Structure 1
Amino acid sequence: MTLIYKDYSGPLPSPLPDEVAVSLSYNGISHAVMVASDNDLEDFALGFTLSEGLVSHSDHIYSISSTQTDLGFVLEIKIAQRDFQNLKKRRRNLQGRSGCGLCGHESLESTFSPLALLPGSALPPGENLQGIRQRIRDWQPLGADSGALHAAALLNQTGDIILCREDIGRHNALDKLLGAAIKQSVDLSSSCIVMTSRCSIELVRKAVRCRLGTLVTLAAPSSLSVATARTHHLNLIHISRQGEARLYSKGA
């Protein structure tokens, strides 16, 4: 059978996902430039700041402002002085080290820095995850248009989706959802987040830093993410395409 090209070199028949540069600056000092989708950027800044351990508590984030430039977006985050001093110390300690090439971290030490153990949370009832693949698609308006965005969804105690965020990057989608949940004072320790992506080490570490009880992914986890989840008492579940709930780590 001969492959026939479908010509998309002219006007696009459907929207492609947005991808923009987003610079995060803390107390006037640039810290990181991420590539993300351009929606829910305030949620992203809040979630990123907490899930990366840049502040010790959400109350230490005083303000977030966003400015669009020709090159992308600049997010200005004002944080408590003690956290800012720790951030500057961390940056000084990383200077001169060679990069290990893992997710933007500059060393193995910074990638695998110790995390506080979770207290352990009860597993969500199995019926809460019934039909979750279809249900999460219903909460993906941007993904439905482009077919290329990850989603992170927050389930309540009865299994209903109450919040969802999308992004071209799976870790960005999680940061956005964490930020939105924290703004609404959600108790993450007893909450369940479902992600459309595979489960990688950075997702588990972000979940642990934000004291999440249960992380569910729709693609298989890596061996390192499973080991990290088990060490830190995070419930980690994979929902297979066949609808099987595979429990890899049980927190309680």
Structure 2
Amino acid sequence: MNSKRPTCAAPAPSTTAPAASQSYCYSNLEHESSSNAALAEEVALAIAYNGISQAVMLVSPTDLEDFIVGFSIGSGIIASADEIYDVKFSGQGSALYADVEIASRAFWNLKTQRRHLTGTSGCGLCGVEAVEQALPELAVLPGAPLPAAQWLEGLRQRIGAFQPLGQHCGAVHAALFMNDRGQLLLGREDIGRHNALDKLIGALIRQQIPLAGGIAIVTSRCSLELIQKVLRAGIQTLVSLSSPTGLALQWARQHNLNLIHLPQHSAPRVYSPATESTA
């Protein structure tokens, strides 16, 4: 075995948040050769509302303003974006802070919920203290037509243009929005699947993009917290590239949400609205 360690360029230091991806050295098991690969970065983002710490989330350091808006709505902390008065970011490197000023009514509701989250990139309900908080009462959607079948043709290939980070280094999820004419408008990426959806919802709200007739698309598995986020946002159709969980399906049907799974090698599966079996 060659005892000489391979040499690689060190990643550039960051004075604020790191870039979405950076290059890191790796070698083979015999340490005979080395190269560099781009890896997705993540940071710990501590979120405080009106000076009270609420959550620490591991996120990709991109589109953080979108994330704050989407997280606040998707978590039920605020009812609409106009309840956020100001957002200030601070910190550097892998430790960032977001101080969010929200309306008094929203802050009062938040304090009564007594939710103190320690978030991770994989779980959207960490720290919820009661079953009632995990399964909240949410409004039933008015219902919307299913999308045209041709809108979903070749979708897996088309979304690549909206996944620059994923194409570059992998290890991230994506959430995208398709408008009422079947056009992909924008996408957001993150190491956390629910974070990516939060960023998408925040971007839609901040850019004032109409949601009527539109579709949210997620590249990750579709579990309950993703259903809750699109319900709170008022998006009426959700397409998932991975299968939904049974509970996610039940909630979609109960709340009149169109839920479609797009398998890799077969036709789209409409799980909600439910249809009677002809077998």
- Picking from 74, 89, 96, the partner of 2:112 is 89
Higher relative CO (Cα under 8 Å, sequence separation at least 6) belongs to: 1
The answer to whether the Cα contact below 8 Å between 1:42 and 1:66 also exists between their aligned partners in 2 is no
Q: 2: CA distance between counterparts of 1:57 and 1:24?
A: 18
Shift of 1:59: 1.1
> How big is the alpha-carbon RMSD for the aligned residues of Structure 1 and Structure 2?
2.1
AA aligned to 2:219 is T
Q: 2: CA distance between counterparts of 1:228 and 1:249?
A: 9
SS in 2 for 1:16: strand
Q: 2: CA distance between counterparts of 1:61 and 1:17?
A: 30
Which residue does 1:145 correspond to in 2? Answer: 168
Task: Check 1:8–1:216 CA distance in 2 against 1; reply closer, same or farther (3 A cut).
Answer: farther
Q: 2: CA distance between counterparts of 1:29 and 1:152?
A: 29
Residues 148-187 of structure 1 aligned to structure 2 (within 5 Å): 148-187=171-210
- Picking from 37, 42, 63, the partner of 1:19 is 42
1:202 paired to 2:216: no
Q: 1: CA distance between counterparts of 2:69 and 2:202?
A: 5
Shift of 1:186: 2.1
Q: 2: CA distance between counterparts of 1:24 and 1:12?
A: 37
Q: 1: CA distance between counterparts of 2:189 and 2:164?
A: 9
Shift of 1:63: 1.6
Shift of 1:164: 0.4
Task: Check 1:237–1:84 CA distance in 2 against 1; reply closer, same or farther (3 A cut).
Answer: same
- Picking from 96, 99, 103, the partner of 2:125 is 103
- Picking from 142, 148, 154, the partner of 1:131 is 154
Q: 2: CA distance between counterparts of 1:188 and 1:12?
A: 45
The answer to whether the Cα contact below 8 Å between 2:124 and 2:194 also exists between their aligned partners in 1 is no
Shift of 1:56: 1.7
Task: Check 1:57–1:102 CA distance in 2 against 1; reply closer, same or farther (3 A cut).
Answer: closer
- Picking from 235, 241, 259, the partner of 1:212 is 235
Task: Check 1:7–1:165 CA distance in 2 against 1; reply closer, same or farther (3 A cut).
Answer: farther
Q: 1: CA distance between counterparts of 2:77 and 2:69?
A: 10
Task: Check 1:90–1:247 CA distance in 2 against 1; reply closer, same or farther (3 A cut).
Answer: same
1:28 paired to 2:45: no
SS in 2 for 1:220: coil
The answer to whether the Cα contact below 8 Å between 1:44 and 1:176 also exists between their aligned partners in 2 is yes
1:46 paired to 2:69: yes
Cα shift readout 1:38-93 (whole Å, capped 9, x = no counterpart): 100110000000111101221111122221335511111111011101111111xx
Which residue does 2:258 correspond to in 1? Answer: 235
AA aligned to 2:36 is P
The answer to whether the Cα contact below 8 Å between 1:14 and 1:145 also exists between their aligned partners in 2 is no
Q: Which has the higher helix share?
A: 1
Q: 2: CA distance between counterparts of 1:181 and 1:14?
A: 32
AA aligned to 1:74 is Y
AA aligned to 2:159 is I
The answer to whether the Cα contact below 8 Å between 2:177 and 2:200 also exists between their aligned partners in 1 is yes
Whichever of the two has the greater Rg, that structure is 2
Which residue does 1:73 correspond to in 2? Answer: 96
Unaligned runs of 5+ in 1: 96-100
The answer to whether the Cα contact below 8 Å between 2:50 and 2:100 also exists between their aligned partners in 1 is yes
Cα shift readout 1:89-117 (whole Å, capped 9, x = no counterpart): 111xx69xxxxx97312221210011111
Unaligned runs of 5+ in 2: 1-26, 117-122, 275-279
- What TM-score does the superposition give when structure 2 sets the normalisation length? 0.81
Which has the higher mean CA deviation after the structures are superposed, 238-247 or 221-230? 238-247
Percent identity between matched residues is 43
